[in-house]
Amino acid sequence: MESAQLRLFGDAAGAPPPPPPPRRRLGGQSRSGLVPRPAPPGPDVEIRTSTRRRKSATAYWSEGRIVVLLPSHLRGSERREMVDWLVARVMSRRPRAAASDEALFERALALGRRYVPGARPRSVRWVTNQHKRWASCTAETGEIRLSHRLQGVPGWVLDAVLVHELAHLVHPDHSARFYELADRFERQSEASSFLEGYALGLDAPVGVSG
């Protein structure tokens, strides 16, 4: 940031010029009259450790904060570097258009109108207790639940999962009619391949980056 130079003059009676503004310390250097802008606040980060985790670490969004899961044996700089890398990865991959349950529900409604006209979802939300599957639904109640692990995928992959679950609201099975409806989303097969690789990346051994 450039600061404007100010010329200080005395008044008509010849009074001395006013004293210069106090000098402040910024980053170890002394500058006149400059006040640093506060950095924008980052997300809250919660770090959880587990003795059962030996080789894998992961992070995900939960209720507006980032939760980092680490093996308990990580210490010192190795732990700090792993936390920084996981937080940066989650921040860069979060689909902003569906960051909240409300936005996710609106996204599902729009996809339903386009690809699955017969679907009538009543609730679409993120959950943190689905580690073995990407999503689930209850056709009787119209509820769709998406794993928090999907909060790091590209938007088109998220859309494919939503369309898949919307199709289950119409056909709660994996029949030919179900696939005919779900495959109206053109990148459904591509999304399945992406998620197979993405699942491996989530459980990558500690120290492996990509």
Q: DSSP readout, 101-169?
A: HHHHHHHHHHHHHHH-TT---SEEEEESS-SS-SEEEETTTTEEEEEGGGGGS-HHHHHHHHHHHHHHH
Domain 96-202 class in CATH: alpha beta
pLDDT tens per residue, the chain (210 residues)? Answer: 433 333 333 334 444 444 554 544 444 443 444 444 444 445 678 888 887 766 678 887 665 678 888 888 888 888 888 888 888 777 766 555 456 888 899 899 999 999 999 899 999 999 989 888 999 999 999 999 999 889 888 889 999 999 999 999 999 999 999 999 999 999 999 999 999 888 877 664 433 333
Beta bridge partners of 123: 143
Give the domain ranges of the chain: 45-93, 96-202
- Distance CA(178)–CA(148), nearest Å, equals 25
In sequence order, the 6+-apart residues with CB closer than 8 A to the CB of 58 are 68, 69, 86, 149, 202, 203
User: pTM for the complete prediction?
Assistant: 0.55
